[in-house]
Structure formats: structure tokens, C-alpha cells
A and B are shown apart, each in its own frame.
Chain A
Amino acid sequence: MSNPDPKNLVPAEQEVVVEQEAGPWRDAWKNFRKNKIALVGSVIVFFFIFLAIFGTWIAPEGINDQKLTERLKAPSSQYWFGTDDFGRDIFSRVILGARISLGVGFFSVIGSVVVGSALGIIAGYYGKWVDTIISRIFDIMLAFPSILLAIAVVSVLGPSLVNALIAIAIINIPNFGRLIRSKVLTVKQEEYITSARAIGMKDFRILLSHILPNSLAPVIVAGTLAIASAIIEAAALGFLGLGAQAPAPEWGKMLADARNYLRNAPWTMIFPGVAIMLTVLGFNLMGDGLRDALDPKMKT
């Protein structure tokens, strides 16, 4: 007789406990895996991350390899996406542009999350006049359409990629600040926070070890979606001449340069645009999937 399966020896109640111990993150991962659209989004995102990291090895040519005899060539087996007005290979420039767009997206959102979270936590936890001042600052920032505020910041700092990144980080601060603030206000009322305070735990430790981890899920969701909008905003600033400067292969800047060649060389405009759209779509799909998985109450 074979030994009985040890699983069968565990009473049903204990099994449930084991299941619960797996934690919300594992549940979220399970839900996320089931969501096919979100998986497609993740594949797109990881594809562009791959291009951003390894693009220099994949791209057949450099960002500024000019061949004036090859100007405005249509897509062919030699130049898959054609060439631009300087005879540069658009395929290579689109691949190399992934690093710029994703870089701006990631780093600007990290900046907004760090500053926004810090302000949101301070406002939510300390309340009173601190909260009033911080919340009013958020209100004022949100009173501007985001791209306009970004333009205002760049017009002060001067047009460049780094300044565009700073501008995009600044405009997203109030979104994360408000999110964290509302989360802190809810968590603050929980009994375990009262207990932590009762046993003499310091404010800073309560914030770090209890409130912050509890606010992580909505920040991940909002962060992923914010990367999508940050990529579009960076491209928009590039398009307006306020972001990356020549010869950087920034997708928005490539579109701005392509405007003069719509009639004769529309491929100069098509491919950078497709790249922006696909990346943003990827982050949006992944963000929607993460929201459904991590915060089922917000499911649309």
C-alpha cells in the first residue's frame, strides 16, 4: 500500500489558511496571468524595454549616420523604414529612440512617485495646516492642463530632454500625492496603526513599515499608466521643439522633422508615430490589467 498523499491529511480549514498565506500579491499575479489583453500589453512593453536596453547592438546604423546620397529613400530591403532628409536609417533611429522615450517615461514617473509620495504621506499623516498647504499646492498644479504646465516649466528651464523629463515629473506629482494622501488617511484609521502608536512606535517607522507598503498597489497601477502618459507628453514636448534636440532620435522630434516631408516621404512620419502608439498602448493595457488584478474594486 502506498503512503497516503500528505495533502489529504491536512484538514480543510488549514488548507484555506495555507491558501490565504500565499498573499494578495500571488492572487494578483494569478488574476493578471488570466487577463490575455494585459499579457499582450506586457509583451509589447517588454519588447520595447528590450529595444531600449539592447538597441545599440540591434540597430544596423548609428543615430546620426548621414548619407546624403540616400536622402528620403522609401522603405526597402536595405532600409526597412526608409531614410530621412539627412539619409539616416529610420529603422535604426526608431529602435534607438526607444531608450529615450522609455527612459523619460520611467525616470519622470519615479521622480513623481518619490516626491508625490513624500508630500502625500506628510499631508495625510500629519493633517491640519500641513495638509491644507500641500493639498492647495496640488489643487493649483492640477488647475493647469498638464501639457501646458509642462510647457510653462520648460519655457523657464529651457528646451532640452532633461528639462522635459523634469517638467513631466513635476506635472505628475499631484496625482501621486493625492493618491497616497487618500490611502494614508484610510490606513491611518486602522486599528493596527493605533496599536503601533500605543506601543510607542515612532511616526517615521509607522510610515515606513505600515503605511507605505499598504499604499504600494495603487501606486504601481497609477505608475504604469503614468508612464504611458509621460511618454506621450515627452513626445509632445519633443514635437513642439521643447524636448530632445537634434540629432537625438526622440520619436516626437522625428515627427516634427517629418512634417516638411509629408507629401514626398510619408514614411518619415509613419514609423516614429507607430512606435509611440504601440509603446503607450502596451503600458495602457498592462496598467489596466494591473488595476484589475491588484485592485478589483476599481475594475471597469
Chain B
Amino acid sequence: MVNYIGRRLLQLIPVLLGMTFVVFMIIRAIPGDPAQVILGQLASKEAVEALRAKLGLDNPWYIQYFEYLGGLFQGNLGESLRTAQPVAEEVWPYLAATFELAFFAILIAVIIGVNAGIISAWFQNSWFDYTAMVLALVGVSMPIFWLGLMEQWIFAIELGWLPTSGREDVRNPISAQTGFYILDTILQGRFDQLGTVLKHLILPGIALATIPMAIIARMTRSSMLEVMRSDYIRTARAKGQKMFWVVYKHALKNAVIPVLTVIGLQMGLLLGGAILTETIFSWPGIGRYVYEAIQFRDYPVIQSGILIIAFIFVMINLIVDILYGLIDPRIKYD
């Protein structure tokens, strides 16, 4: 196991280097003079020269790359052209917002998805099974941004149950400590604000959760159906054990491995989905940070934002891979 983890970490090095190179190339691959493109055609010659110098575009590309890499090792993610702040400093609140939203979404997706899958398999070919699987099929095909808009229209505008956008009530702002508002409000004992935070989380959380939920439900169902046909399940039932325990204790334990793979993959994909959800719901997360940077052609932020999300994505995949072995000792790593 330790060997396996070591080998996986070693394999990660070329991938991480490749990622930094791809991100490094984002500015350099812009056709024409990148500094001119960023500042626009009306920019003065001096301003363009100054930006070229600031971005280090005057050196040969390989020197630029090593300088960029050296900076990354020192935690230097560049400086935003819009706010003139170091990206490494201003990115944390955005990251915390995304983590909170993604965690909430995966929680919804797992709780509803796994249970829907289990019940569908338990009552195979029942009306519940058919309805759940049709909904899952529709869910997989649903553009997340359309779902978000539909939610806003129905639940926020028409029914007025939930807020349309944002993360908090602007008239009653939260004093952030950790950046995770649920945690902050609990730590500060502000349970009135906790309710507001949760209300703000529901619509974007559901929008982000829909696709993973549908995929998890389908995976759980097929995995459970396979396990439910095995001999030991028949034995457990023959012994007179209650169906509920057979399903939730015996069957689920063995059906959970492929489901975990899917959950792991979905957690990474949520980060990609976050850019759309955050744009719709004005959620101040890393996705919106990158989106705004695109609008302002703030390339250092675009680069670092993409690098951070990809880095987290790779790490989640690594952790999920390692976790399999811990959960299921039958999995051998060569």
C-alpha cells in the first residue's frame, strides 16, 4: 500500500508539471502580442511595454517557464491585473465558498442518489424504479445552467421561498473567520445567520448536485442489482433476516465500491460545474473568480484559477484511488 501511494505520487510529478506548462501557455499562446490583446488596441505603447515587462514576456519562453515554475514553488501565483493583489492572497475566500458549495452538493447527491439507487434495485421494475431511472436519465441530460435558471424562476421569483443569488444576506453580513460560512456562524453562535446561509446554499447546491445525483443513483442501482443476486444475500434472506438489513447492511457493503469510484469522479467534476453554477447564482467562488477574470482579460487570475481547480481535481482523484484499498482490502495494488 505504501509502495503504491509512493508510486502514484511519483507518477503525479509529470502530470503536475504538464499542467503547469499548459497553464503557462495560456498567455503565451495568444495570437499576436499578448500584452496588446490584454490591454486592447487603444492602449498606449508605454502601457503595453510595461505590461510585457510585468508579465515577463520579454525573455525566451523556456526561461519564462522556469521563472513561472520557481514562483509557483514559492507560492507565487501571480498578481491580478484588475485588483493588483497577489492571487495567492485573494483566492482563499473564493476557494472556501466553492468548497462549501461543492461539499453541500455532494452531500445531497450522495444521500438522495444512493438511497434512490438502493430502493430502485430493491423494488426492481416497480413504479418507483421506473420513475427514479427516468428522472436520473433526464438529470444526466440536464444542462446545469438551465436547471439553475429554472430553479431561480420557480423557487425564488415565483414562489419566493429562497433567495435568488449570493451567499449571505447583504443587510446582515457574516464576519468571516474560516471562510466556511456554515462553520463561521456556528462558531459565532449566530444561528439566525446559519439559517440564511443554508437557504442561500439550497438552490445552487441542488443545481450542482443534479448530475452527480443521477449518475450515483444509476450506478448504485446496477451495482446493487448485481450483488442482490449473489448467494450470500440469498443465504441471509433464507436465514430469515429482515430485508431492510439485508439490503442496507449486507448488500450495500459490497455494492459500494463502484459507487465510491463514481462519487470520487463526481467530486472532481463538481469543480468544473461550479464555474457555471457560481455564475448563475452569483456565488463568490473560484469558478466565478475565473469567470470574472475572463470578462476582464485578467490572464494571471485565469491561469492560477485554472491551475488551482485542476490541482484539486487531480488530488481528489488520487485520494479516491488510495481510499479504495482502505475500504476494500480485496483490492490489490501491483
Select the stretch in B73-81, B143-151, B189-197 that faces chain A.
B143-151
Contact A255 B138 (CB under 8 A): no
Please, which residues of chain A bring their CB within 8 A of the CB of B22? 140-141, 144, 152
Q: For chain B, give the interface size range.
A: 35 or more
Contact A236 B145 (CB under 8 A): yes
* Cα–Cα distance between A266 and B268 once the two chains are bound (Å): 32
Select the stretch in B12-20, B63-71, B322-330 that faces chain A.
B12-20
Please, which residues of chain B bring their CB within 8 A of the CB of A155? 26, 294, 299, 302
B200–chain A nearest beta-carbon distance, Å: 18
A175–chain B nearest beta-carbon distance, Å: 13
**B174 at the A interface (CB under 8 A):** no
**A78 at the B interface (CB under 8 A):** no
B229–chain A nearest beta-carbon distance, Å: 15
**A227 at the B interface (CB under 8 A):** no
| CB < 8 Å neighbour of A144 from B14, B218, B299, B313 | B313
**B137 at the A interface (CB under 8 A):** yes
A and B contact pairs by CB, cutoff 8 A, 10 listed: A136-B15, A140-B15, A145-B268, A145-B310, A147-B272, A147-B273, A148-B310, A155-B302, A241-B295, A262-B153
Select the stretch in A16-24, A51-59, A106-114, A276-284 that faces chain B.
A276-284
Please, which residues of chain B bring their CB within 8 A of the CB of A141? 22
* Cα–Cα distance between A144 and B302 once the two chains are bound (Å): 14
Contact A284 B275 (CB under 8 A): no
Contact with B along A230-254 (1 / 0, CB 8 A): 0010011001111000000000100
| CB < 8 Å neighbour of B18 from A137, A236, A241, A272 | A137
Residue of A nearest to B144 (CB): A236
Residue from A156, A270, A272, A280 having most chain B Cβ neighbours under 10 A: A156
Q: A141-B22, A240-B275 are in contact. List 8 more A-B contacts (CB 8 A).
A: A139-B14, A155-B26, A155-B299, A155-B302, A156-B25, A158-B31, A273-B150, A300-B222
Given A145-B269, A262-B153, the answer on whether A151 and B143 have CB atoms closer than 8 Å is: no
Binding site for A on B (CB under 8 A): 14-15, 18-19, 21-23, 25-26, 29-31, 137-138, 140-146, 149-150, 152-153, 157, 218, 222, 268-269, 271-273, 275-276, 279-280, 290-291, 294-295, 299, 302, 306, 309-310, 313-314
| CB < 8 Å neighbour of A258 from B15, B21, B30, B149 | B149
How many A-B contacts are there with CB distance less than 8 Å?
Answer: 126
Residue of A nearest to B276 (CB): A236
**A221 at the B interface (CB under 8 A):** no
**A259 at the B interface (CB under 8 A):** yes
* Cα–Cα distance between A300 and B137 once the two chains are bound (Å): 13
Residue of B nearest to A242 (CB): B294
Residue of A nearest to B37 (CB): A158
Contact B310 A284 (CB under 8 A): no
Contact B138 A281 (CB under 8 A): yes
A12–chain B nearest beta-carbon distance, Å: 34
| CB < 8 Å neighbour of B276 from A136, A239, A276 | A239
**A9 at the B interface (CB under 8 A):** no
**A143 at the B interface (CB under 8 A):** yes
Please, which residues of chain A bring their CB within 8 A of the CB of B143? 232, 235-236, 252, 255, 273, 276-277, 280
Please, which residues of chain A bring their CB within 8 A of the CB of B306? 144, 148, 151-152
Given A148-B310, A276-B143, the answer on whether A269 and B150 have CB atoms closer than 8 Å is: yes
Given A137-B18, A152-B22, the answer on whether A280 and B141 have CB atoms closer than 8 Å is: yes
Please, which residues of chain B bring their CB within 8 A of the CB of A145? 268-269, 271-272, 309-310, 313
Please, which residues of chain A bring their CB within 8 A of the CB of B290? 148, 151
**A64 at the B interface (CB under 8 A):** no
Please, which residues of chain A bring their CB within 8 A of the CB of B150? 269-270, 273
Residue of A nearest to B290 (CB): A151
A173–chain B nearest beta-carbon distance, Å: 13
Residue of B nearest to A235 (CB): B143
Given A143-B310, A156-B30, A258-B149, the answer on whether A148 and B272 have CB atoms closer than 8 Å is: yes
Given A145-B310, A262-B152, A269-B150, the answer on whether A252 and B222 have CB atoms closer than 8 Å is: no
**A100 at the B interface (CB under 8 A):** no
B154–chain A nearest beta-carbon distance, Å: 9
The residues in A between 250 and 300 inclusive whose CB is less than 8 angstroms from any CB of B are 252, 255, 258-259, 262-263, 266, 269-270, 272-273, 276-277, 280-281, 284-285, 300
Contact A284 B140 (CB under 8 A): yes
Contact A228 B310 (CB under 8 A): no
Given A152-B26, A236-B276, A277-B141, the answer on whether A262 and B269 have CB atoms closer than 8 Å is: no
In order of increasing CB-CB distance, the 5 nearest A-B pairs are: A145-B272, A140-B18, A273-B146, A281-B141, A280-B141
Residue of A nearest to B22 (CB): A140
Please, which residues of chain A bring their CB within 8 A of the CB of B268? 145
Please, which residues of chain B bring their CB within 8 A of the CB of A259? 149, 280
Residue of A nearest to B221 (CB): A300
Please, which residues of chain B bring their CB within 8 A of the CB of A242? 294
Contact with B along A153-169 (1 / 0, CB 8 A): 00111100000000000
B299–chain A nearest beta-carbon distance, Å: 8
* Cα–Cα distance between A190 and B142 once the two chains are bound (Å): 42
Please, which residues of chain A bring their CB within 8 A of the CB of B140? 284
* Cα–Cα distance between A146 and B270 once the two chains are bound (Å): 11
B70–chain A nearest beta-carbon distance, Å: 20
Contact B310 A266 (CB under 8 A): no
